[in-house]
Each structure stands twice: as C-alpha cells, then as structure tokens.
Amino acid sequence: MASSVMITNLTQEWVESLQRWHLEFFFIPTAFITIATLLANPVLLTCIFLTRALRQETRYLLVANTLAADVLFLILNLVTLLCNAVRVQFPWIVCEVVTAVTVTAYCCAILTITLMVVDTYVAVRWPLHYHDLLPPPRTHCILVGVWMLAAACPFILVVMIEERENPHVKLPVCLVLVNLGLLQLENMMRVHIYFLIAALICAILILYCYIRLYMVTRTQGIWQSRFSRARVTLLAHGVLLLLYFAPGFVFTLELFLFQRKDISQDARVWISTVNMCVFMLLPRAFAPYLYGLRGTLRRETSAQGDLKAERGSSVKVAAMVLILGRRIIREDSGIRDSPAVKRKVFEVDPKTLASQEVLDFCSGSSHSEGILQVFNEFRDCRLFTDVVISVQGREFPCHRAVLSACSSYFRAMFCNDHRESREMLVEINGILAEAMDSFLTYVYTGRAKITTENVQFLFETSSLFQIYTLRDACAKFLEDQLDPCNCLGIQRFADAHSLKQLASRCRSYALANFSEVAQHEEFLDLHKEELEEYINSDELSVGKEEVVFEAVLRWVYHSVELRRPMLKALLHHVRLPLLHPNYFVQTVEGDQLIQNAPECYQLLHEARRYHVLGNEMMSPRTRPRRSTGYSEVIVVVGGCERVGGFNLPYTECYDPVTGEWKSLAKLPEFTKSEYAVCALRNDIVVSGGRINSRDVWMYNSQLNLWIRVASLNKGRWRHKMGVLLGKVYAVGGYDGQSRLSSVECYDSFSNRWTEVAPMKEAVSSPAVASCAGKLFVIGGGPDDETCSDKVQCYDPETNTWLLRANIPIAKRCITAVSLNNLIYVCGGLTKSIFCYDPMEDYWIHVVHTFNKQESCGMSVCNGKIFILGGRGESGEATDTILCYDPATGIITGVAAMPRPISYHGCVTIHRYNDKYHRP
C-alpha cells in the first residue's frame, strides 16, 4: 500500500511539473506523428500478409513483426495520451499491465530488428543453405518465441509486486515511463541491469554482423558508388537501430541518475518527456517510410539498369529456387538420391536400334553463346564469382574458369602454383580500369565497344592478356581511323607493339599523303631517322620535289638550334637536282640557313651540274619519285633477232618497277645495223651504222619524235658513244676498210661535230663509259682476229689520251656503264662482270652471270644495273633480263624481253606517265 501511495504522490508531482513547464505541448506533435505512422504501418502490413510470396519469405515476416510491435506500442501510447488528456483515472493495476504490454512491444521490436540483421548476414554468408536455416515455418516459431521472451520480464515484474494492498487505487495519470521507473522493488536495479545487458548483447551482435557483411561483400564492388543500394541500406538500418536502442539507454541512464539523486525532479521530467515524445516515436514513425524509400530506390535502380542486370537477378533467383526446389521436393516426397530415381522412361533393344535411328544433334553456336550470356549474368549478379580483379582501386568480380578459358595469361596465373591462384583478390597494374571493364565485357559476351578514346588502352590490355582477336580488332580500328593528323602517331604506336601490318599501312598512308601530313604537329615531332626514312623513299607521293624541301626546312626550323647539324644529312635525301631551276636559285640558294651551312655546298653543286648536264649527271638524287609522274625507264633501240635476220625498227621502253613495256616512235632507217646509242640529257642519240654511216638521229622524249641532227664527219659503225660534260663522243669503230682511232665530239647547242684527239689504239666494238670527268674506252678489236685488253682514258681538259690498268680479259663486243664512280663491264662471251675503280686504277671481278653472252644491252636504272638480251655461244639472240644490285652483290633474272634481241642499244631516260602522277 505504501508503494501505491508513493507512486500516486510521485505521479501527482510529475503532472504538476508538466503543467508548471507547459510540457504538455510536446504531446501535440506526438499525437500527429503517431496518427500518421498508424496510417502507414497497416498499409505495409496489409501488403505483406495479402501477398503470398512475401509472407513466405523470412525477411518480410521479420519486417511485418517489427511493424506489428510498433503498431501495438503506438496504439497503447496514443490511448494513454488521450485518456490522460480527458483526465480519465486508471486503477493502478491497469496502468501496470499497460506498462508491461508497452515494454513488451518495445523489446519485441528490438529483438526482431536484431534478427533481421542476423537474417541478412546468414543469407549473404551461406546463400545455398539459407532456406535450410530459416524456412518460413521455423520463422513463425522464432517470432512466437521472441514475443514470449519480450513479455516475460515485464509481466514477471507485475506479478512480483508484493505490496499491493489496494490494486484499485486510482492514479491521476498513467505515464508508462513514470510508472515503470517508479517501481520500488528490492531487485529493481538488477532488472534494469538485465535489460541493459540484453540491449548491449543485441547491439554487439548487430555490429558484428555488419562488420562481417562488409568483409564478405567489399570485394564485389557493391560499396563503390556513393549512393549504392548497399550504402543506402546500411544508412537506413543504422538510423533505425540508433533510434530503437536510444530510448532504452536514455531511460536507464535517467533512472540511474535519479536514484543517485544526481538530477532533480524537474530535470527528470524534461528528460523523460523528450525521451518519450521524440526517441520513442521517431523509429516507429521513420520505419515505414525508410522501408518504402529503400524499395523505391531499388525499383528506380532496377529500371535504370540495363536488361542484363534484370536477367541476372532473375537467373540468380531461378538458380537458387531450382537448387533448393529440387532438394525440397525430394525431401518432402521421401525420395533420396538413389539409383531408383534414375529410371528409364522406356526400354529399347540395342539389336533393333538401326544406325539411322541415332540423332546426332548439334545446337550450333547459339548453345555456346547462351552459356556465355548466362556466365555474364552471373558476373553481373556476383553469383559463383571466385576471384576479384582489382585495377586502379576498382574491383571486378569474375570467374576463374571463364578468364582461364579465354586468356592464356590468366590460365598461367590460375593453373600454376602462383600466389594469385590461391588469393581471392588479384591486383593488376599497368592498365586502366575502363579498359579492364571493356575487356571483361568482351570476354563474357564476345563483343566490345572500341572508340577513339579507349582503343589504345584496350589494345594494350588485350595484348597483356593475350587476347589476339580483340587486339587485332583494335589494330583494324586504328587502321580505319588513319588520317593525316594521326597516321604518324599510330605508326609509332604500331612500331612500339611490333604491329608490322599496321605500321606498314601507316607508312604507306603517310607516304601517299605526305603533303598534308607535313602540315600537322605530329610531323614536327618525328625523329631524324624517321624523317629520313620518309624523304628517302621513291614512293613518297608529292607533286613536285619542292614540297619535300619545304617540309625538311619546316622540321629543322621547328627547333633550329638542335636540328641545324642535321641539315646536311636530311638534304642528302632531298632530290635537289629535280627542283625547278628558278626555285632552286631563288629559294634554296637564297635560304639563310643553307647559306650558313658550308657542308651543304656539295649538294648544291650537284644540283647545278644536273641542270646543265641532265641524265649524264646520275646519282640517287637525280632519280625522280614515281608520284611526280616521271620514272626511270630503260629504252631499247633497234637490234636484230638472229644473225643474218632483219634489223628491227622498234623503240621500246621497259619500267623495271612495274615490268611493263611501252612502244615509242619507231627508229628511222631501221635497215641499218651496228650503230651506236647513248642518252643526252633526257634524249637519245643514234649515230652511224652499216648503211648511211654518217647519219645521226636524236629522239625527243617530250615529243616522242625522231629528229635528224648534224651528221658525223666520218662515217662509221661498230663504234660506241659516250656522254661527257654534256657532249656526245663517237669513239672508234670501222669504216668498211679499217679500224678507226678518230673521236668526234657533238655539241647539241651548236649542232656540230668536231674532231678531238684520236685514241692511242684504233678499236671497234669496245665498251665506252664516262666516269669521274673522263671518258674510258675499254677493250675492243684492233682487227678481225684479236681483241684488246687496253683501257684508254680521255681527259677533255687536256684533250689527251692515257692508258690505264688493263682489263683482266681481252674482249670485244662488250658493254660498260658507270655507277657510283665505278665502271662495270660485261659481255664478250664471258660470264664475268668486272668492276673498275678510276680513282684507284684497278679491276676486280664482282659476279658471274648465268650464261655467256656478247653484244648485249646494259644500262643503269633505279640504282641497279640491268643487262638485256645479247647473243649466246650458239650465236642465237636471248630475251633474258638480268638485274645486278651493287649494294648486295646479287644478280637475278627479273623478266623477259618481248622478243630475243642483240646488237641493240640500251639507255635510261626519265619518262612521264600520268598513271603515276599524284598532284
């Protein structure tokens, strides 16, 4: 009875304190919040209990139980508030029972929330055993146990009250927190400590589950996004747990301080009111809306995601249902995995099974594509993933089997005894995360989106992982993207990765578009060796050589102090002799940088000489590039097919690069034979011959026309001609009576032949070549029976002849050409080709031909020596064309002439072909 009186008195004091501080206003928003919450909770409960699929899932049963406990708590709290507002006085025992039920609802909510966290942990940690651990029937039993456990202590307290002399004492108000806190029993402190320890155990269990969940799922990439579902879920649960647990801890702290007399009655009134009106109601008010917000976010994420994510979720659920469903069916039916289950539907006698009754079924590529698609859906859902690839801090869950099947790099990593084969997290350096994402998309789908932004990194990634099909696709994409702005950069990239085909394609593109390429910044970043490779090529496509010269100067001026010493080496590859004379004088010689580079004067001098001497001045820089429309061709003049046969009137040109033959204007007076042929500048001169031996004809290459010019002073045949310093020299020969030692010189500007000093020995059918500013007459026949091995050298400055080192073999009907300040001789029915060095005055044997021949044609074209036709040991003419490359010392047969021929003339000129011209 004393306890009842004390509680009544204290309750009265509490009410007076509330009125004194006007704390009743706290109950107004409390009522509105409670009503709003009571409108939302039943809606959610109705959705859960009316949907069969939801009420059979453990997690939704736990949510429903929490909402039901909250509804009970709010209803009791609202009822007491309304009764207190209308001043309804409760019997003491009724207030105690209401207090016990309210505490039961509060404790049940706490325990159920703890079970929700444990349920989430079990579902993630053991997904295949989840339904075995927490099936719906077992969940029902657990919820009943939760309610019983939550109700045990509050109702035991009510029963344990000993001093209740008048349980029907009326209380002025029924305040749950006040009534619970004012119970004065000997073991009340122990009860509060019990409640506190229970709450701490629940909190620690929840914290442990969250830490373990994070450790298990952190490698699956679900925590990377700032607003990911995982983070939103954690935030929602954290807020709810804080608000659910906070009132209990505040109440315990407040009770402890009040009993120790550390706080006054007024302070306790304030604390209890705030605790009851704020902390007690906030979690119940927020819970339905937070669950609704999480569901809305989940639906929006699913709607914004691609179809693969949706299919992945369905596949994951289907896989789980399939596995668990089969197990449940077998267990429910009492059937185990015994051989009896695997009965055949029907039996067939093998003897009656004919071969045509066997169906060899193949689903085709769709089967493998479907499996790959399912694996990709597994990857999106993090289902069965057993390795995480970390690139730049971004983690990619994958399947070892898929990676190993597609990449020998991963096969070696996972199949051998490497550290990565045992670790869950594998870090890969040197690539970008975006490239890894595209790479994995290709591995799992066979498709990849290659763009100009990711092609380089995707190529490097596919090369690293040895996926050659993807690498080749990137290379093909780069090839399709070539333009003057990027071709040089792509070529450098291709060279760095040993992509010969792509590098060759880039080089060809740059050569074909050099005029445009040279205008971009990439051109200025070329290395000296790279620039030399381009400007030295015959395939460089420029309408005129001036483009090459200007590109070189632009490159040098870009960093003039550093590149000035490289000017000579670069100009060595520019074909200065082919520049227009006016441009050469005004622009090249007028450039300040070239004027201050004495090392370049020799190249300028060579260009001036070519402008005067024409094709007589031969060097690698006098050979036109094919893109100009001009090319070096070998012109074959006249000749005869066989001994005693008719002389041929044909004038034909041969292009060694294309192997094409073209007919030119026919040779006049073709009935004559044993005439001499030479090239003067870019024209052809034919002199003498057995008939009309004084006649001289000149072929104009621009007009494709033969023109008669001044005649020889002395008629001759079996002679040879050479060009020296822009003049033609007719040397030796036969006049029908004797061998001639006389030499005539033709000046094309005056159109006149003049006599010069005669040779020391008269010869016919010698070899004649000009080299190092002198004219050399080699071998020949001083009479019908003998051959000469003398080498006679004419110096135009002194108009004298000197003898030089003899040729190793005395021969007639031989031919000579000059190349790189050396003289090469062949013919005379030998297989040998000899080389003479005028500066050192000695002979060497360089190579053997395939057959003995004489009276053959010989000419220099594109830096190589070509030997055409001739007469063999049998006296029959041949149609073979041999090519000797002095740079390699190799002689090869390259083509055949249109017909066998000998005693013909061979010279090289530049000829225009509009098919090659690229403006």
Is the domain 629-912 a CATH 2.120.10.80 member?
A: yes
Taking each helix axis from N to C end, the angle separating 2-21 and 265-274, rounded to the nearest 10 degrees, works out to: 80
- Average pLDDT (264-270) is 63
User: Residue 183 has what pLDDT?
Assistant: 46
Most confident of 365-369, 452-456, 523-527, 542-546: 523-527
| Residue entry with tokens 């090289």 | 908
Least confident among 76-85, 528-537, 573-582: 76-85
User: Which of the four pLDDT bands, split at 50, 70 and 90, describes residue 99?
Assistant: confident
**pLDDT over 80 (residue 22):** no
**pLDDT over 80 (residue 357):** no
Which homologous superfamily is 2-304 in? Rhodopsin 7-helix transmembrane proteins (1.20.1070.10)
Residue percentage of the chain with pLDDT more than 90 = 34
User: Which of the four pLDDT bands, split at 50, 70 and 90, describes residue 202?
Assistant: confident
User: Residue 681 has what pLDDT?
Assistant: 86
d(CA 906, CA 675): 12
Least confident among 92-106, 240-254, 519-533: 240-254
- Average pLDDT (681-707) is 91
**pLDDT over 60 (residue 293):** no
d(CA 42, CA 286): 14
- Average pLDDT (409-422) is 81
d(CA 688, CA 668): 12
* Residue pair 594/588 in contact by the 8 Å Cβ criterion: yes
d(CA 631, CA 7): 121
| Residue entry with tokens 């996972």 | 414
d(CA 513, CA 772): 38
User: Which of the four pLDDT bands, split at 50, 70 and 90, describes residue 744?
Assistant: very high
DSSP output for 122-182: HHHHSGGGHHHHS-HHHHHHHHHHHHHHHHHHHHHHHHH----S-TTPEES---HHHHHHT
User: Residue 116 has what pLDDT?
Assistant: 83
- How many CA atoms lie within 13 Å of 521's alpha carbon, on the beta-carbon side? 0
d(CA 518, CA 507): 13
**pLDDT over 70 (residue 315):** no
Least confident among 83-97, 622-636, 845-859: 83-97
User: Which of the four pLDDT bands, split at 50, 70 and 90, describes residue 370?
Assistant: confident
User: Which of the four pLDDT bands, split at 50, 70 and 90, describes residue 30?
Assistant: low
Q: Both tokens of residue 226?
A: 């700032």
Least confident among 13-22, 103-112, 428-437: 13-22
* 740 sits in which H/E element: none
- All structural domains of the chain with their residue ranges: 2-304, 526-628, 629-912
d(CA 709, CA 749): 11
**pLDDT over 70 (residue 275):** no
* Strands 387-391 and 425-427, sheet pairing: parallel
User: Residue 328 has what pLDDT?
Assistant: 36
If we measure between CA atoms, which residue out of 894, 874, 882 comes closest to residue 849? 882
Most confident of 163-177, 537-551, 752-766: 752-766
CA dist list (Å): 890 to 833, 881, 887: 12, 14, 8
Q: CA angle at residue 671 from 669 to 675, to 5 degrees?
A: 80
- Which CATH number is correct for 526-628, 3.80.10.10, 3.90.1640.10, 3.40.605.10, 1.25.40.420? 1.25.40.420
**pLDDT over 50 (residue 522):** yes
Most confident of 17-26, 460-469, 619-628: 460-469
- Average pLDDT (490-515) is 90
- Average pLDDT (359-384) is 80
- Average pLDDT (198-217) is 78
- Average pLDDT (110-125) is 81
**pLDDT over 90 (residue 277):** no
User: Which of the four pLDDT bands, split at 50, 70 and 90, describes residue 890?
Assistant: very high
More confident residue, 222 or 198: 198
* Residue pair 484/517 in contact by the 8 Å Cβ criterion: yes
Residues 149-175: tens digit of each pLDDT: 877 766 665 554 444 444 445 555 565
d(CA 145, CA 152): 10
**pLDDT over 80 (residue 549):** yes
Residue percentage of the chain with pLDDT more than 70 = 73
| Residue entry with tokens 């047969």 | 893
User: Residue 353 has what pLDDT?
Assistant: 46
User: Which of the four pLDDT bands, split at 50, 70 and 90, describes residue 226?
Assistant: low
User: Which of the four pLDDT bands, split at 50, 70 and 90, describes residue 376?
Assistant: confident
- Average pLDDT (720-734) is 94
* Residue pair 119/134 in contact by the 8 Å Cβ criterion: yes
Residues 772-825: tens digit of each pLDDT: 899 999 999 998 889 999 999 999 999 999 999 999 999 989 999 999 999 999
- Average pLDDT (888-916) is 88
Least confident among 232-236, 395-399, 552-556, 563-567: 232-236
d(CA 577, CA 498): 37
* Residue pair 685/696 in contact by the 8 Å Cβ criterion: yes
**pLDDT over 90 (residue 879):** yes
- Average pLDDT (870-896) is 92
The 8-class DSSP code of residue 264 comes to: -
Computed over every residue of the chain, the mean pLDDT equals 79
**pLDDT over 60 (residue 541):** yes
DSSP output for 386-422: -EEEEETTEEEEE-HHHHHHH-HHHHHHHHSS-GGGT
CA dist list (Å): 362 to 371, 396, 491: 15, 34, 45
**pLDDT over 80 (residue 32):** no
User: Which of the four pLDDT bands, split at 50, 70 and 90, describes residue 530?
Assistant: very high
- Secondary structure of the chain: what % helix, strand, coil (to 5)? 50, 20, 30
More confident residue, 767 or 122: 767
- Average pLDDT (839-845) is 95
Q: Is 857 exposed, middle or buried (0-12, 13-18, 19+ CB in 10 A)?
A: buried
Q: Is 496 exposed, middle or buried (0-12, 13-18, 19+ CB in 10 A)?
A: exposed
Q: Can you point out the beta strands (E) in 610-664?
A: 630-637, 651-655, 660-663
Most confident of 116-130, 184-198, 231-245: 116-130
User: Residue 259 has what pLDDT?
Assistant: 62
d(CA 600, CA 532): 16
The 8-class DSSP code of residue 774 comes to: E
User: Residue 335 has what pLDDT?
Assistant: 40
